[in-house]
Chains A and B, each alone.
Chain A
Amino acid sequence: NAGVTQTPKFQVLKTGQSMTLQCAQDMNHNSMYWYRQDPGMGLRLIYYSASEGTTDKGEVPNGYNVSRLNKREFSLRLESAAPSQTSVYFCASRGRLLAYEQYFGPGTRLTVT
């Protein structure tokens, strides 16, 4: 039982390049989330998926797109990376009840130059 996994762990992009961050969970959770965390800050929600087939914007969605590929997988895409998107990205999932018990992945550290 791996929990929440994310790939890659590190990535460096040039401005304007695109990439997709992958996230998968093996806990049969319905809800999945993408957050970003900037240095010295708390986490901010980018997008979330309450259930398979649905996605919604969070607090900071501009510059990102998401795909809920199936119940296990939720990907985050940067179409044209900008230096302001340099951050650590966390994926999380949540079970059926306990709204405030989310399980986080190890994060992807992204640098855009």
Chain B
Amino acid sequence: LAKTTQPISMDSYEGQEVNITCSHNNIATNDYITWYQQFPSQGPRFIIQGYKTKVTNEVASLFIPADRKSSTLSLPRVSLSDTAVYYCLVGERENSGYSTLTFGKGTMLLVSP
């Protein structure tokens, strides 16, 4: 699994756009980039996955430059309920046998009024 580096914490205010960048210099050709969100006292929740360029869903956007050595999770117009820990993971998208997730410490996003 490629090692990832992301900020320990970030602060924002309601209504702002938040961008969390993850560095993954050793990403392999078959690796996808995946982000999870974890609210206090809950299990992590898959939010978005991408391989290159841009992916958008109802929750977030994921921007991946051409060299794929980093990625940016973008949360538009955050609210207090977006306060959570965000984890960046890198690895193969499909695995016929098994797969295990390795979570780092993630980025603690605190949204204030």
Q: Which of A's residues lie within 8 Å of B, judged by CB?
A: 4, 31, 33, 35, 40-45, 48, 50, 56, 58, 90, 92, 94, 97-107
Pair A58/B100 contact, Cβ less than 8 Å: yes
18 residue pairs of the A-B complex, CB under 8 angstroms, read: A35-B101, A41-B105, A42-B105, A45-B102, A48-B100, A50-B97, A94-B99, A98-B49, A100-B46, A100-B89, A100-B93, A100-B99, A100-B101, A101-B49, A102-B101, A103-B46, A106-B42, A107-B42
Cα distance, A35 to B43, chains bound together (Å):
10
Pair A43/B32 contact, Cβ less than 8 Å: no
Check A107/B101 contact, CB under 8 A, given A99-B91, A100-B89: no
Cα distance, A104 to B93, chains bound together (Å):
18
Cα distance, A56 to B97, chains bound together (Å):
12
Contacts of B49 in A (CB 8 A): 98, 100-101
The count of chain B contact residues (Cβ–Cβ below 8 Å) is: 26
Q: Which of B's residues lie within 8 Å of A, judged by CB?
A: 32, 34, 41-46, 49, 87, 89, 91-95, 97-106
Cα distance, A90 to B44, chains bound together (Å):
9
- Nearest A residue (CB) for B44: A104
Cα distance, A4 to B102, chains bound together (Å):
20
Pair B46/A101 contact, Cβ less than 8 Å: yes
Distance in Å: Cβ of B83 to nearest Cβ of chain A? 16
Contacts of A105 in B (CB 8 A): 43
Distance in Å: Cβ of A67 to nearest Cβ of chain B? 17
Cα distance, A65 to B23, chains bound together (Å):
36
Check A92/B94 contact, CB under 8 A, given A48-B100, A58-B100: no
Cα distance, A84 to B46, chains bound together (Å):
29
Distance in Å: Cβ of A14 to nearest Cβ of chain B? 24
